Amino acid sequence: MKIVFLKAKKPLVKEITKEGSKPYPLVKNFTSTEEDITIDKKGLNKLFRVTTAAAKQGFCMLKGTLKRPLKNESRAFMSDRSEATQLLILDIDGLRATPSEDIQAMADRVVLQLPNIFHNVSYIAQASASLGIKKNTVSLHLFFLIDMPVHPKTLKDYLRMVNYECEFLAEQITLSANGQSLSCVLDPSVADNSKLIYIAPPKFVKVDRGQAVLPISSSLIGVNPERVHTLGLQIKDNLRKKSNLPKRVGKLSTVNVSGESHEVLQNPDKIT
């Protein structure tokens, strides 16, 4: 499996000051580098080394692969959107919990509340740049090698199911600002090929467990897109009811932006 890192003329880091934080720099042109990773313990060790090294240089990781290497050029239309992957990244963003300086301890508390297949598997844990900035929240990236190539859409549905069926995640699902979609602590969009994973500034821990590769294949059998969609609608309707919002069916259309498909809500609630 190939892992792609992107570098730019400026480091891809978030700037944090006493006044607050600035977003990651908007960059148009990138140069890519690739690393070959085997799906075993040796590969996980290499992934740890190369990701740590890339983070120190201010690079970011690209989810998925490129159609060809980049050299100081735009990445638009260059991602293989349908290529299957054996890398699972869990982006935990703003989990209500008490943070600590022990990255492994925080990561283990999260992993032990995930489905059983995660409990005896080695992984890489990284503190997100926002960890420690938002009070009483935990933000982490967790990297797992998985035992079979999985299509990004299937992986995205699996992450949605984990959000819906794991109690500690489900209880923190909220409505988005428009009231028509769900905002989850575990970000499903990280499954998309072409997603940028910001890994700098680096703070990594490799957590060794019994297995080097996550046996995800058995868990994907029950991932039915229709069931995932239905569960999401049920959760959304319950949250709208709690917010005294009427039950509403969102009308969505698909638009193409820079070669990527995005859903646009056509009938948002009126602002009051």
pLDDT at residue 232, rounded to an integer: 86
The answer to whether residue 118 scores a pLDDT higher than 90 is yes
The answer to whether residue 46 scores a pLDDT higher than 90 is yes
Contact present, 162 and 170 (Cβ < 8 Å): no
Short-list 21, 146, 52, CA closest to 90 = 146
Query: Which residues make beta-bridge pairs with 85?
Result: 150
Three-state SS for 183? Answer: strand
Calpha distance 66→37 (Å, rounded): 16
Calpha distance 240→24 (Å, rounded): 33
* Residue 238 backbone phi and psi in degrees, to 5: -65, -40
- Reported pTM: 0.81
pLDDT class of 271 with cuts at 50, 70, 90: very low
Residue 230 is which amino acid? T
pLDDT at residue 272, rounded to an integer: 40
Note the pLDDT tens digit of each residue in 203-253: 455 768 778 898 888 888 778 888 888 888 888 888 888 777 777 665 666
pLDDT class of 260 with cuts at 50, 70, 90: low
**H helices present in the chain, as ranges:** 41-56, 103-111, 152-165, 167-170, 225-242
Q: Report the half-sphere exposure of 222 (CA within 13 A, side-chain side).
A: 8
